[in-house]
């Protein structure tokens, strides 16, 4: 079974602008991306992300040199874009009121909840600081992107047959 994670635009921006950020901040993104390429993880995001990645909070818009890459970026088969519907927008409005989250971030939270994705990855301090967000009884765990925790498997070799 594939691991499903929701990424807001901040996580995608780290992948797009990978060379401009410290390695420690991006290793989690690279780990998730590698898991997606192996087929063990699938990323869900809102169609809002396609436009939102053009501006990182507090910085100028993304350099147009990234346009060709962005034109195909969200076409990877391990990324699913989910539409911003009226139902999701109304749920997002409630998230703004109930969880004190900014409107665009609330759209991501509501989309995550609507599609029942329990893990939301972000670099947004306000979201990550909450750790969990409850949306109409559905709990979302919020963290920076990270690879799936590895489970150690006990291995005991078969005993060699005794020679007679």
**Inter-residue contact 124 to 101 (CB < 8 Å):** no
Boundaries of domain holding 113: 3-143
Distances (CA, A) of 57 to 13, 96, 140: 11, 18, 23
Helices 86-99 + 103-114 axis angle, to 10: 120
What tens digit of pLDDT does each residue of 24-73 get? 567 888 899 999 999 999 999 999 999 998 887 778 888 888 888 888 88
Contact assessment for residue 99 and residue 126, using Cβ atoms and an 8 Å cutoff: no
Give percent of the chain with pLDDT exceeding 70: 85
CATH number at residue 36: 3.40.50.1010
Report d(CA 100, CA 90) in Å as an integer.
15
The helix (run of H) or strand (run of E) holding residue 17 is: none
Token pair in block for residue 44: 């869900």
Q: How many domains, in total, are found in the chain?
A: 1
User: Is residue 18 a part of any domain in this protein?
Assistant: yes
Asked if residue 148 belongs to a domain, the reply is no
Determine whether 89 is exposed, middle or buried from the number of CB atoms within 10 Å of its CB (0-12, 13-18, 19+).
Answer: middle
This prediction's pTM: 0.84
């Amino acid at each position: 079974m594939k691991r499903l994670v929701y990424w807001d635009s901040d996580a995608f921006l780290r992948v797009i602008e990978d060379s401009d950020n410290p390695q420690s901040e991006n290793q989690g993104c690279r780990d998730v991306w590698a898991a997606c390429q192996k087929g063990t993880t699938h990323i869900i995001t809102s169609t809002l992300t396609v436009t939102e990645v053009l501006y990182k909070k507090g910085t100028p818009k993304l350099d147009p040199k990234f346009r060709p890459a962005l034109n195909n970026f969200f076409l990877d088969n391990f990324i699913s874009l989910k539409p911003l519907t009226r139902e999701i927008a109304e749920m997002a409005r409630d998230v703004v009121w109930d969880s004190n989250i900014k409107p665009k971030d609330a759209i991501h939270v509501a989309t995550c909840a609507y599609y029942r994705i329990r893990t939301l990855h972000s670099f947004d301090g306000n979201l990550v600081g909450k750790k969990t967000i409850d949306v109409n009884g559905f709990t979302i765990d919020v963290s920076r992107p990270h690879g799936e925790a590895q489970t150690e498997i006990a291995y005991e070799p078969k005993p060699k047959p005794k020679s007679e």
